[in-house]
Amino acid sequence: MRVFEGRTVVPGSVTAEAVVSHGGLNTLASFQKALQFGDKKATCGDQNNPDLYGKQMAGKALCLPQTIGSTTGGLVIYCACSMGRQPACMLFSEPIDSLAAAGTILADVWLEGVKMPVVDSLGAKFLDYVKDGMKITIQDGGKVEVE
């Protein structure tokens, strides 16, 4: 087991199975099927992301460097949370981008009963170490345990 420390963006603790992207996550392309067509597993629809394409994101520990894409990114994350199709948590190796931060923070503040902890600035070694299927536990204070 390894422990990584980052900055808490949205507080909380959770344990979930990792799904890993080494490239930026295009939120609109990735969550479009979940939001438009009722895919409750939030199967990644971004064909330009070979790490995630076709994989379930809902309920998983989504490990990524940052999000990319249009200015709808924050709204997409918020909508996924409001529909119950969000990842269990989002773990960023880099500092979180402003759009993802907006969506995750607004979901935390505006949606009752929805918890999606977010930690950023975990470092490049985090993404080098974590693999799909590994068990991830977020502790309060930004500690992330990877088994």
pLDDT for position 1:
95
Report DSSP letters for the chain, one per residue. -EEEE-EEEE---EEEEEEE-SS-EEHHHHHHHHHHH--TT-B---TT-TTTTT-B-TTSEEEES-EES-TTHHHHHHHHHHTT---SEEEESSPPPHHHHHHHHHHHHH-TT----EEE---HHHHHH--TT-EEEEETTTEEEE-
Confidence at 70, pLDDT banded by 50, 70, 90: confident
Question: For 19-38, what is the mean pLDDT?
Answer: 96
> Is the pLDDT confidence value at 92 over 90?
yes
Domain spanning 2-146, CATH class? alpha beta
Q: What is the mean pLDDT of residues 44-64?
A: 98
